[in-house]
Amino acid sequence: MTTPALERPPRPAPRHRASDLLAAYLPGSFFYSSTRGALLADGVHATVPTGSGPRATAVAEALEAARAAGVRDPLVVGALGFGPDAESCLVVPAVVRRADPLGAAPPAEPGPAESLQGWAVRQRPAPEEYEAGVRRALALIDDGGLRKVVLARCLELTARQEVPVPALLRRLARANPTAHAFAVDVTAPGDPATRTLVGASPELLVSRRGSEVVANPLAGSLPRVPGTSAEAEAENRRRVAALRTSDKDRREHALVAAQVGEVLGRFCSDLHVPAEPEVVGTPTMWHLSSRITGRLSDGPAVSSLALAEALHPTPAVCGVPVPEARAVIADLEPVDRGYFTGLVGWTGPDGDGEWVVTIRSAEVSERTVRLFAGAGIVEGSQPAAELAETSAKFRTLLRAIGMEDE
């Protein structure tokens, strides 16, 4: 007997291939991929009010309103800036498509590297001024009261023609298949042109699935030597060993892991913070990494975004103590970070979701690309080495736009 239409169970949402979602991305959409899966969101059912202070309550209300309006399995997607009063962009999309993870990706396609030439570059601050800022930060650390501060610098790039964001996103995702690739429309009211935040972050701030919580802070880094020659591989092995035993980098990482563990301990039982960090690699960097796991004490009562806001900013992108580090950043960095070292991700009505730190990212608007890179300053830091670290971190985006060879 045929089941009456009204009694048929709802069909499961169709699954797509991640590569198809990546190919379908257009500016104005939201794309996000990680080892957990990929999603592409289009249209705006509702915009989440984004005043100052925590946004998790407003997000929960927007999701409940969307469900009441008949939106099936609604999500909130978007980005939050670095500062407590920074701009943010959070929406309930009209359409969401999901896919399994990208997995092993084919070689990055040519994209903007072939079509964009003749870049104009402005460094803010200039390299020598950045080193002077590191020395000032070290003096403040020596005086006491400040244990770590992350100082960033900015590259403002201008091309002769409009930058093709979809091609840039595809290059980033395919060149960094284990990273969290994303593209978010962050155009604010009154902006003269569309602004897109695009990147491939290696750092998971927090993920929640049911009562299971995972955070994966990165701190303590060395540049990776490019190439596959025997000499390059030998030097990379040497750098991995040096990073594992570096007193300066291990102290920097311990500050971050301890703070993340302390915050998650307010919400989680069975919390596990590894006693020793591991070394993980990206195409351009080596990082000390700690995968911290826990189980929510009261079941799934706190959302992934609420956890993310409790953690943000970690010492990996700000410093210790946070108020003093924020003040030093405001004093020494000549360019407001905007969304750099903020959050990008998604959360659902059940509180599940995933949020990453917006590093290895850039804001693109027509012919301009603005990208940042930072380095953690602690006792024992060397200004020239911190400058070199930021230069190496820029390479992820510079490769994707064709300004540096693979």
Query: Would you name the residues annotated as active-site residues?
Result: 148, 203
Q: Please, are residues 119 and 368 in contact by the beta-carbon 8 Å criterion?
A: no
Phi/psi-derived region of residue 276, left when phi > 0, alpha when psi is between -120 and 50, beta in every other case: beta
Cα separation, 159 vs 143, in Å, equals: 44
Q: Give the chain's radius of gyration (CA, Å).
A: 21
Cα separation, 4 vs 24, in Å, equals: 36
Q: Please, are residues 18 and 101 in contact by the beta-carbon 8 Å criterion?
A: yes
Q: Please, are residues 155 and 394 in contact by the beta-carbon 8 Å criterion?
A: yes
321-322-325 Cα angle (round to 5): 85
How many CB atoms are located within 10 Å of the residue 262 CB? 12
Tokens of 361: 């990212």
Tell me, what DSSP letter sits at residue 29? B
Which is nearest to 63 in space by CA: 52, 73, 50, 53? 73
